[in-house]
């Protein structure tokens, strides 16, 4: 059964939004949803061709970034904020996923996972939050964690640990930036059936994972984008420091 996308509203009208990893998958769905709800959107991604195509499709801007490079990250985000004439919402969506048994994870693999999934998020949060504070206006930071950050997963020691760190970083961000009217929340998706995910999983895999949800299906990127749009909207102004499970009930804590 195909899950229908909700009808867009204008509740994000005038919001200036930066989405990292917005070229494809969940990030592209978030960018489309935000733009459909009236936001001005800038996409940051390493995938230049796909990023430019997505930005052109939604009428946003694209800025190439290498999140493993601190200075390039700062520069690219600064460029994106300048293009938007400021920033109201930062969506830290970009991340990588690799598999390895616990006893075979190298220090280099561990560091690479944290470099993209967690350290880059710290850098973008610092840069965007300073701009939000200087603007003297409320801001929102939405971080992409994972169900794995709460439950772990065999073969995902470095990934799960990096996403658990995202949850902790989000809470500290909420605690420290609340005085500036900046909220910080994170999303913890389960199995999301992106184009890449569908191409690397068999029908049996998809059926098995679907059975773990009381709803009997996997998430579509739009399922995650809808929750992100809610968190970016005025409806979520009093929510901060929370990690929201977008798992179809696969976990309930």
The residues annotated as belonging to the active site are 159
R_g of the chain, CA atoms, integer Å = 17
By CB atoms closer than 10 A (0-12, 13-18, 19+), residue 49 is exposed
Q: Of 63, 71, 233, which is closest to residue 142 (Cα–Cα)?
A: 233
Residue with tokens 């992409």: 144
By CB atoms closer than 10 A (0-12, 13-18, 19+), residue 154 is exposed
Q: Of 40, 35, 46, which is closest to residue 8 (Cα–Cα)?
A: 35
């Amino acid at each position: 059964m195909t899950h229908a996308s909700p009808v867009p509203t204008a509740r994000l009208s005038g919001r200036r939004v930066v989405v990292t990893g917005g070229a494809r998958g969940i990030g592209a769905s978030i960018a489309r949803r935000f733009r459909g709800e009236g936001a001005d959107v800038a996409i940051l991604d390493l995938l230049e061709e796909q990023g430019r195509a997505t930005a052109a499709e939604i009428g946003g801007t694209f800025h190439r970034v290498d999140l493993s490079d601190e200075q390039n990250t700062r520069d690219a985000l600064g460029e994106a904020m300048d293009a938007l004439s400021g920033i109201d919402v930062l969506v830290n969506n970009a991340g990588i996923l690799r598999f390895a048994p616990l006893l075979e994870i190298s220090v280099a693999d561990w560091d690479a996972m944290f470099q993209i999934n967690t350290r880059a998020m710290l850098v973008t949060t610092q840069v965007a939050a300073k701009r939000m504070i200087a603007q003297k206006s409320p801001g929102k930071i939405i971080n992409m964690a994972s169900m794995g950050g709460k439950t772990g997963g065999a073969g995902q020691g470095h990934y799960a640990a990096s996403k658990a760190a995202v949850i902790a970083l989000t809470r500290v961000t909420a605690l420290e930036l609340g005085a500036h009217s900046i909220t910080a929340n994170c999303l913890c998706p389960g199995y999301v059936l992106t184009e890449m995910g569908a191409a690397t999983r068999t029908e049996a895999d998809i059926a098995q994972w679907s059975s773990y949800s009381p709803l009997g299906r996997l998430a579509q990127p739009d399922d995650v984008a809808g929750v992100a749009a809610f968190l970016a909207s005025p409806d979520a102004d009093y929510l901060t420091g929370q990690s929201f499970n977008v798992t179809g009930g696969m976990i309930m804590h």
